[in-house]
Amino acid sequence: MKTRRSFIKNTALGTLAFTATPMVMSAAGSLNLQPVLKGPKISLAQWSLHRALEKAEIKGEDFAAIAKNTYGISAVEYVNQFYVQHGNNQKFWSQMKGRADDEGVKNLLIMVDNEGELGSTDDQARKMAVQNHYKWIHAAKILGCHSIRVNAFGKGSREELQSALVDGLGLLATYGAANNINVLVENHGLHTSDGKYITGIIREVNNPYLGTLPDFGNWCLNAAWGSTKNNQCTQVYKPITGVSDFLPFAKGVSAKSYHFDAAGNETVLDYPGLLQLVKTSDFDGYIGIEYEGDILSEPDGIMATKDLIERLWETLD
C-alpha cells in the first residue's frame, strides 16, 4: 500500500530536502540551511488526570493551563464527565476557549460518555441518546474542537445492533456535519472493539464526519469498556489489527498506557508496533496520552508515556 510517508520518501529527494529546510541568516549574513526534525504531535487526554479531578485536587477549568505548564503539551482532549453541569452553558465554554487561547493550547475534542446508547434497538431511546449528544457538539464547536468522541453501545444481536448503529451514528454524524464537528467512535469493549464490525458500520453510514478514535488498549471483546490493563481479558481483538482497522477513519489516536518497566517501556501494549502503524499510515493528527495505570502517579505516568512516544518515534521508519 502506498502511504503518505512512502510517497514522500520516493519523491525527488534533493528538491524535497531543500523545500523542507528553513533558510536562516547567520549573524554574518550568510545563508544557513537547518534541517527540521518532525516529531509526533502529542495531546493530553483529560482522563489521564481523572483521579486528581475526582478528588478535587485540580479543577477542570484549569486543564489547558496544567497541560501546557506542567507537561509541556499544547493540545488537549476533554472528558464530558467533568463538566456535566456546564453542558448547555455557552458562556462557560466561551470562557474555557479563552483560557486555552491564553495558554496557547489547542482544543481538539470532547470525549462523551453516559448520554445513552446510540445503538439502542428501542427507537425512542436511540433518538434520545442522539439528542443528548447535541449539547456536546455545541460545546465542542465553541471550544474550537474538531470532534466529539462517542460510544457505539447497544444491546441485541449483531444484526440488530448494526441496523441501530447505522441509524444512531448516522443521525448524529449528520448533526455534527451541520456544525462542522466530527463524531468519532472509540473501541470501548464488546462489539465496539471489533474493528471490522465497527468500520463496516462506518462504511455503511458513508458520512465523512463519522470516523474513529483508535485506542491502543480497550480491545477486550467480552467486557464492557474493554480494558486490557491487567492482561486478564479472555477474548482480545488484537490491538495491532484493531488499530490498523480504525486508522483509515481516524481523526485522533489514543495512546493508552498502563505500566512501565525500569527502562521506560510499556509492558502491556506493543508500543513500537502500534506507533509504527500510526507513523506509516496517512494519519496526521494528534496522539493523545491517556495514562490509566495504578503504579505510577498520574503525573509520572503522563510523562513516562510522553517520553516513550517521543523516544520511539525517532527510531521508527
pLDDT digits (tens, 9 = 90+) for 111-152: 999 999 999 999 999 999 999 999 999 999 999 999 999 999
- Distance, in Å, from the CA atom of 205 to the CA atom of 304, rounded to the nearest integer, reads 38
Give the CATH number of domain 41-315.
3.20.20.150
Q: How far apart are CA 77 and CA 107, in angstroms?
A: 7
Residue ranges per domain, the chain? 1-36, 41-315
Grid cell of 177 as nine digits: 456535519
- Per-residue tens of pLDDT for the chain, all 317 residues: 444 444 444 443 333 333 343 444 434 444 444 444 478 999 999 999 999 999 999 999 999 999 999 999 999 999 999 999 999 999 999 999 999 999 999 999 999 999 999 999 999 999 999 999 999 999 999 999 999 999 999 999 999 999 999 999 999 999 999 999 999 999 999 999 999 999 999 999 999 999 999 999 999 999 988 888 878 899 999 999 999 999 999 999 999 999 999 999 999 999 999 999 999 999 999 999 999 999 999 999 999 999 999 999 999 98
Instruction: Give yes or no for a contact between 133 and 119, defined as CB atoms under 8 angstroms apart.
Output: no
pLDDT of residue 99: 98
Q: What is the pTM of this model?
A: 0.88
Task: State the cell numbers at 11.
Answer: 519523491
What the block records as the C-alpha cell of 120 is 439502542
